[in-house]
Amino acid sequence: MSDTSIRFDDGAAYEHYMGVWSQLVGDRFLDWLQPSTQQRWVDVGCGNGAFTDLLMRRCAPASVLGVDPSPQQLAFAQTRFPGGTARFQQGDAMALPLPDQSVDHAVMALVIFFVPEPSRGVAEMARVVQPGGRASAYGWDLMGGGFPWAAMQAGLPSVGRSPILPPSPHAANLDLLPALWQEAGFVDVQTQVLTVQRSFSSFEDYWRIALMGPSVQASLASLEAHEMEVLKRAVHGQFDNAQGPVTVTARAHAVTGRKPQSSQ
């Protein structure tokens, strides 16, 4: 399916829909990564700054540049850092607006499956990272059922709809990530499975936020009211607790690698 309808242009809505998930899994990612302090970072596909915020709070970076194609998302991200402690710039993951060897660590947080050519995106991270620096990423296991809103996706066929997938849905597969990093020249490549949970006060709370997803909105735009009720019942039926709080488990795959020194 095409990703033309998957556009994250509302930073506030994204915060409820995916920003919370991003910080949950981002915390696990940084626990695993254990990056050094005082590094120069580029946050590729920074969106509304959810992961940038984690970097600033947990990693004491020397600098962070967030790069994203959406000016609306960047405007929201900037509101997190009114003092200018992080900078944001519109740009493309496959053509980063940075000089060669200008950062210590490049990261893609929940982004790699949105890059039309993942190998070019990883190559760009390799270009801007200095020798001895690192590039890292994590992405939802979209094809293995790890997406936080997988229950909604599974319900779509009940109303004749299919999930709208990003351009590279397999990019975060655990067998593909290390190959992408190795092909870009990184060494000491490591991977990790990250599992997180998020609780909702009720199914209605889950449902309300699930409908904020841009791919869901595109799929459901033409549904009649009775069809929406059919979908809601199909999604609701996937949860054991029909009346009380709802807990959802999600799974992401992470990768990191080091750029060799020029002498290697």
pLDDT one-digit tens code per residue, 152-204: 989 999 999 888 889 999 999 999 999 999 999 999 999 999 999 999 999 99
196-210 per-position pLDDT tens digit: 999 999 999 999 998
CATH number for position 87: 3.40.50.150
Question: pLDDT tens for residues 90-119?
Answer: 999 999 999 999 999 999 999 999 999 999
pLDDT of residue 104: 98
Look at residue 1 and tell me whether its pLDDT is greater than 50.
Answer: no
Answer yes or no: is 263 within a domain.
Answer: no
Query: Tell me, what's the pLDDT at 262?
Result: 74
Residue 71 in any domain: the answer is yes
Question: What number is the average pLDDT over the span 144-157?
Answer: 92
Higher pLDDT, 85 or 110: 110
Q: What is the rounded average pLDDT of the residues 31-47?
A: 96
In a domain, 58, yes or no: yes
Number of domains in the chain: 1
pLDDT, the chain, mean: 90
Q: Is residue 222 in some structural domain? A: no
Residue 218, domain member (yes or no): no
Q: Does 77 fall in a domain? A: yes
In-domain check, residue 264: no
Whether the pLDDT of residue 244 is over 90: the answer is: no
Task: Judge whether 28 lies within some domain.
Answer: yes
Give the confidence band of 263 by pLDDT, cuts at 50, 70, 90: very low
Look up the domain containing 88 and give its range. 11-145+164-200+249-258
**Residue 22, pLDDT score:** 87
pLDDT confidence of residue 264: 47
Say yes or no to pLDDT of 11 above 60. no
Q: What is the 3-state secondary structure of the chain?
A: CCCCCCCCCCHHHHHHHHHHHHHHHHHHHHHHHCCCCCCEEEEECCCCCHHHHHHHHHCCCCEEEEEECCHHHHHHHHHCCCCCCCEEEECECCECCCCCCCEEEEEEECCHHHCCCHHHHHHHHHHHEEEEEEEEEEEECHHHCCCCCHHHHHHHHHHCCCCCCCCCCCCCCCCCHHHHHHHCCCEEEEEEEEEEEEEECCHHHHHHHHCCCHHHHHHHCCCCHHHHHHHHHHHHCCCCCCCCCEEEEEEEEEEEEECCCCCC
